[in-house]
Amino acid sequence: MLFQFREKHSFTKECLVALLLLYNSFSWYFIGQLIVTKLAKAISTDSSASLYLQAAFPISIIISALIGSVIWSKICGSKNLHVWLILGTVISIFPATSIANSFVSGIIIIVALGTSLGLGMPSLLSYFSKSIPIENRGKVAGVTFFMITASVPLLIMGTSAFDLATFAILFAVWRSWSIPILLAFPLNRTTQLEREREPPFLNVFQNRPFVLYFLAWFMFSMIDGFESHVLFTHKQEFGLTMNIAEPIIAAFTALIAGIFADWIGRKKIIISGFVLLGVAHAVLGIASQFWISWIIFFVINGISIGLLWTMFTIVLWGELARASEKYYAIGETPFFLTQVLSLLFAPYVALIPEISAFSLAAFFLFIAVIPLLYAPETLPEKRIQERQLKIYTEEALKLKQKVEQKQT
């Protein structure tokens, strides 16, 4: 029954191009994290200096995304994505060069890597919203997240044994395969009129639905980022389970979440993710001494990640503002900001008692549901009703055909 919700022609040429470009960019980011970690450790043996180097990567992504959402499309025009991908390919080679041998040069390279991603990412996400009909965005986002979550751990494991120079060259090659795809199948262009209609940053936070969803996303990002440090500190034996089992569960959940998000709406999927995550943390807060509690936690946490990341990172922000690049730039900020804070405050987070950490997390996750109760659904009610009517009509026709076949 589940896959009867599919629309014909859900994955058009534009959908597939947007999907592949998103997959390339997100996977490049996760592989880039490992490059940055390797580079930081190679440059400095001091743990504090290494953390500062690693924190420069998400900081540069945040700043460059905010700047890029204002000027990147204006500077590069209709070729903004082409220039962005070429720039990312060239900069990906920098860690392999001989200049990456000091703290200053390391900072410059890491900032360049982050900037090469942040500048054009809002434009790509905006193109995604413009190229894919709203009734199919959940499915395409779910497939994208599935591909990322299923393949990136394998890519990292397969290449992590290489030295930094070889890894960086492979890193650049990985980024480059997206260029011929965009050259062969260009996405819809942003017109000059659309650029002029881009709202100022101040207007973004005057958008009440955006603020409500942003608060919930910020809360989730903070808790998800800090909880990983608590887990590795107190339960290192579960580290392998967390790195392998959770992504597998999240990958398949994302597929299902994307289908249902196009059928029943985004808001119900997001609220379900928060409630499940709150229950999982509450279980650990009450009975963390039992191993079954940890199994329950990892399963539910993987499900919640698949639900929430699919909606927040790809789908939601464009629907709140007609694919405005500024909304995407600000909406993605909590994800990267959490990485900065979790890196810098990791030593202090480790001092929090295990039971207290998960009990507090459960409390704040349930609090995060409150703004969602007042947030509107971003999938138009008309689309939901049309899809349900289509399903009922198809079922009625099938039933009618069965009756006619029996009568004949």
Could you report the per-residue pLDDT of 240-297, keeping only the tens digit for each? Answer: 556 677 788 889 999 999 999 988 889 999 999 998 888 888 887 777 777 788 888 8
Using alpha carbons, select from 113, 102, 114 the residue that is nearest to residue 59: 114
Q: How many CB atoms lie within 10 A of CB 192?
A: 12
pLDDT of residue 240: 57
Q: What is the pLDDT of residue 2?
A: 40
Mean pLDDT, range 118-139, rounded to an integer:
88
How much is the pLDDT for 96? 82
What distance in Å separates the CA atoms of residue 117 and residue 106, rounded to the nearest whole number? 17
- CATH class, domain 207-377, is mainly alpha
Does residue 13 carry a pLDDT above 70? yes
Here the tokens at position 61 are 């992504």
Distance from first CA to last CA of the chain, Å, rounded?
27
From residue 338, give the alpha-carbon distance in Å to each of 20, 59, 62, 235, 275. Answer: 26, 10, 11, 21, 21
Find all residues with CB under 8 Å of 338, minimum gap 6, and list them: 221, 222, 224, 225, 226
Q: Name the residue ranges covered by the structural domains of the chain.
A: 12-198, 207-377
Q: What is the pLDDT of residue 384?
A: 65
| pLDDT in the model for residue 238 | 58
> What are 352-390's pLDDT values in tens digits?
666 667 777 777 788 888 899 899 988 877 766 666 666
Which whole number is the average pLDDT over 376-405?
71
Q: Give pLDDT, residue 386.
A: 64
The total number of residues written for the chain in this structure = 408
What's the pLDDT band for 34 if we cut at 50, 70, 90?
Answer: confident
Residues 285-343: tens digit of each pLDDT: 777 777 788 888 888 888 988 999 999 988 888 888 776 888 899 999 998 998 888 77
pLDDT of residue 7: 47
Residues 245-284 as b or e (16 or more Cβ within 10 Å = b): bbbebbbbbbbbbbbbbbbbbbbebbbbbbebbbbbbbbb
39, pLDDT greater than 50: yes
Take residue 300 and report the two structure tokens written for it.
């539910």
Cβ–Cβ < 8 Å for 36, 171: no
What is the pTM for the complete model shown? 0.85
Instruction: Select the more confidently predicted residue: 402 or 63.
Output: 63
pLDDT at 253: 92
Res 8 pLDDT > 50: no
Amino acid found at 322: R
If one compares 195 and 130, the residue with the highest pLDDT of the two is 130
pLDDT for residue 24 is more than 90: yes
Phi/psi for 6 (5° steps) reads -70, 140
For the chain, the average pLDDT equals 81
pLDDT tens digits for range 225-236: 777 666 666 555
Predicted local distance difference test score (pLDDT) of residue 193: 45
Three-state SS annotation for the chain:
CHHHHCCCCCCCHHHHHHHHHHHHHHHHHHHHHHHHHHHHHHHCCCHHHHHHHHHHHHHHHHHHHHHHHHHHHHHHHHHHHHHHHHHHHHHHCHHHCCCCCCHHHHHHHHHHHHHHHHCCHHHHHHHHHHHCCHHHHHHHHHHHHHHHHHHHHHHHHHHCCCCHHHHHHHHHHHHHCHHHHHHHCCCCCCCHHHHHCCCCHHHHCCCHHHHHHHHHHHHHHHHHHHHHHHHHHHCHHHHHHHHHHHHHHHHHHHHHHHHHHHHHCHHHHHHHHHHHHHHHHHHHHHHCCCHHHHHHHHHHHHHHHHHHHHHHHHHHHHHHCCCCHHHHHHHCHHHHHHHHHHHHCHHHHCCCCHHHHHHHHHHHHHHHHHHHHHCCCCCCHHHHHHHHHHHHHHHHHHHHHHHHHHHC
User: What pLDDT is attached to residue 10?
Assistant: 56
Does 207-377 match 12-198 at the fold level? yes
CA distance 253 to 238: 21
Please, which pLDDT band fits residue 121 given cuts at 50, 70 and 90? very high
> Looking at domain 12-198, which CATH architecture does it have?
Up-down Bundle (1.20)
Higher pLDDT, 191 or 150: 150
Q: How confident is the model at residue 6 (pLDDT cuts 50, 70, 90)?
A: very low
Q: Is the pLDDT of residue 179 over 70?
A: yes
